[in-house]
Structure 1
Amino acid sequence: ETVKLAYTKEYKAELQKKQRDTRNRRHEDTLAVMTTQADPTTIEQYGFDIEFQYPLIEAAWDSLKLRIRNPRQQETMGKVRLIKDSTNLRHFRVMPTEPFQVGYEYFLKIPHRGFRDINGFYNDSTELKVMLPTDEKLSNITLELSGVHNKYIIELLNEKRDKVIRSFIVNGDGPVVFPYLKAGSYCIRMTEDINGNNIVDTGNLLEHKQPEKVRFYKVNDKFLIKVLEKAEMVWNVDMEELFR
């Protein structure tokens, strides 16, 4: 016997809508969305930057492939190491195990279906390309730190002081270098990281927590540091004296 099911108009309309949605679903709607970045000016410090829109349930980090092409157009395969963001489980950095070299091109291949997010979606393949800047007009700032008895956060900010360009954590004497700078104005902010959490704490009135000490490095009694083209700027900084 044949059994016929009676569908209401509302059910038929809902069924047709689901069928249309399935047909119209875009390819990108079924992918594990990720954003990637390889900034030539900060690649030595931060490496290849990868952030997924949703947390991962599968991650084949050993599937990443790093190709290195030298100035003679000869290619070799390199090794990488993974750096996980302790404050963001969706954010990762990938660094070559060997230092970056000027004139070399670096290609990081992220293969298809190497990663799966909590929605069950796999990533699409992509390849990042980067090489160190070779523009002779770029400048460097070097701070020769002494008197470092605590942990400090050393940051290079833009002229408006609303963007961190580079950040270093230091707990001993030595140089801090800000390379590949375009001509312009910058600020250098130094924070005494008393609690050692690698974050600039502004304090909490309700919890009776004092803000951490912050100093802006001055050049000629000015917070704004003017950087010219092709400049090599070096300053000796006594941290003990600065935070006294």
Structure 2
Amino acid sequence: MKRILITVGASVLVLLMFPRCAKVVSPTGGPKDTIPPVLVNSNPKPNATGFSGQKIVLEFDEFIQLKELHQKLLVSPPLKSKPQPKQKGKKLELELTDTLKPNTTYTFYFSDAVRDNNEGNPIKNFIFSFSTGQTIDTLTLSGRVLNAITNEPVENALVMLYDSFTDTLPYITLPNHITKTDKDGKFTLVNLKPIKYKLVVVDDKNGNYLYNQGSESIGFISNEVNPSDKTPKSISIRLFREELPNQIVTGYDRPERNILSLSFSRKPVGGFSLKPIDRLKLTNWYVVEPDNNGDTLKLWIVNDEIANRDTLMAILEYQKTDSLYRLKPQTDTLRFLYYKEEVQQSKRKGKKDETAQVKKGFTVSTSLPSDRMVIPNVPFEFTLPMPIRKADNTKISIFNTTDSIADEQIKLKVDSLNPRIFRFEKDWKPNTSYKLTILPGAFEDYTGQTNDTLMLEMIGADPEKYGILRINLTGVSKSVVVELLSEKGIPVDARTIQGNGIVEFSFVKPGKYRLRFIDDSNSNGKWDSGCYMKRIQPERVIYFTDEKTKGVINIRANWDSELQFSLKQE
């Protein structure tokens, strides 16, 4: 007993001598909470019938928080005024300011806006429904919305159902049912009636539940859709931006003394003409250069007398869309002004106008890549700073420095759209050095200026340093545009094929690529958007993919790659 007392006393003495060695440890709280709130009570009850109140109360099993409820809450059919939310601990109250329709099933789509207060665990795809009538609708409709060009899923697109089939409904009438797509572009409409519906999708940018043409994209199902009480077959909708149907002049300007600009709502159908108001018979006083879309036009003034006018009054004749969407001849009077303060001040002071001095030459830029490799029969481009009046092939020469011989004369061709671009093609020999010389006078603009001398050195590409890609295409209905893309989706090259056959890309630099196919139904060599009112879907865009490479094609030097691909629709 004495020994025990001595031992206990020694232990107490040690603790008193080293008080800082004691450490208080908080009890562990267990595993992290990952369970979202659970609805335990509500007024009305879920899927209740005969509801006539103006307030909805939802009670959960734990305290909640709301994240972006105003943006995420969607009520179907849509209400004119959004419900006013009020959070009280574990309860969420929704005050309804609109009068509910009789005999109607209402569905509240909360998305992931309701979360627990501690960890923020959301109730995913939380939906609450009730009916103002004696029955509740129970059918569903599911699908997915993809971007028509990229095939990527579209998030937050508004999916709208109508119980009638007038084409103008999306422009003027609120839908009968709505929902939004998730991050994967998927959607599910619930509590639908056993009737046929019209389905339209828009990226509702202003939140008015209508289609605003020109500022929003649209997608639609051409035929009627039928909801189901079973697991429905998912439908696919392609979202696209329509070309504006109205053809009008949207702007005009004179950014430089010798340049006018005209902007249309779309590429002008039927062409146009612009004439000085005092010289209506004057022709060929400007050269047109459209942008890539064709709706903005740059007009290069090539008449000195017109260019020297500070004020130019001109008559524009073009086709304008009337109220019935018909193109009718239209005549507008436009006033183009050019004025620079510093020029006028220098003239008043008797100083020489330096801006009026004529340059002796201009620079020609080319498409020669940084590695100076030129590929056989790939167009070699010259880009000029302004349109030209005359091109002289004899002042452009190519000398084969490897064999010490002069090559045959090139043949220049002007671009069909851009008057500042000229091209020529040549069968460059592999591993052969060339010198290209452009002498003054090869290009002469409308002011009499000619190009500066330009000398370039280049080498014919060695085919063994490049790869070849061949695609055996089947399932082609009319024609297909085959685009070779970089791994990041940037266009590298393109080919067009009519019907089934083999498409070949040669002299492909080693690297990783992708393939995109445009089902060119009208055989115009480019992708065309759709038209909702004419019930025309956008042309299909298909990306090559496979499970092994995820669509990435590895091109190696001195290697032929071949693949099979079918465009046949499933």
- TM-score bracket for the superposition, by shorter chain length: 0.7 to 0.9
Paired letter, 2:349: E
Pick closer, same or farther for the CA change 1:42–1:107 going to 2, 3 Å: closer
Q: Partner of 2:350: helix, strand, or coil?
A: helix
How well do the aligned residues superpose, as a CA RMSD in angstroms? 3.3
Distance in 1, matches of 2:551 and 2:407, equals 43
Larger displacement relative to structure 2 (202-211 or 74-83): 202-211
Contact 2:400 2:434 in 1 (8 A): yes
Larger displacement relative to structure 2 (218-227 or 202-211): 202-211
Distance in 1, matches of 2:492 and 2:449, equals 33
Paired letter, 1:84: V
Distance in 1, matches of 2:451 and 2:555, equals 43
Report how many residues are paired: 222
Matched, 1:68 2:400: yes
How does the TM-score come out when normalised to structure 1?
A: 0.73
Pick closer, same or farther for the CA change 1:88–1:197 going to 2, 3 Å: farther
Matched, 1:57 2:392: no
What is the 5 A alignment of 1:1-150?
14-18=349-353, 21=354, 29-39=359-369, 43-70=375-402, 73-96=403-426, 99-134=427-462, 138-146=466-474, 148=476, 150=478
Distance in 1, matches of 2:568 and 2:432, equals 41
Highest CA radius of gyration, 1 or 2? 2
Distance in 2, matches of 1:175 and 1:88, equals 28
Pick closer, same or farther for the CA change 1:152–1:130 going to 2, 3 Å: farther
Pick closer, same or farther for the CA change 1:226–1:110 going to 2, 3 Å: same
Q: Which residue of 2 aligns with 1:158?
A: 486
Distance in 1, matches of 2:384 and 2:406, equals 28
Matched, 1:242 2:537: no
Contact 1:187 1:223 in 2 (8 A): no
Matched, 1:179 2:507: yes
Distance in 2, matches of 1:62 and 1:104, equals 23
Pick closer, same or farther for the CA change 1:123–1:100 going to 2, 3 Å: same
Offset at 1:190?
Answer: 1.4
Matched, 1:213 2:554: no
Distance in 1, matches of 2:377 and 2:529, equals 26
Contact 1:202 1:212 in 2 (8 A): yes
Contact 1:155 1:168 in 2 (8 A): yes
Offset at 1:50?
Answer: 0.8
Distance in 1, matches of 2:445 and 2:535, equals 40
State which of 515, 520, 533 in structure 2 corresponds to 1:188.
Answer: 515
Contact 2:530 2:536 in 1 (8 A): yes
Paired letter, 2:413: I
Contact 2:483 2:491 in 1 (8 A): yes
Paired letter, 1:191: I
Contact 2:484 2:514 in 1 (8 A): yes
Identity %: 21
Give the number of the structure whose residues are more often helix, by fraction. Answer: 1
Matched, 1:227 2:554: yes
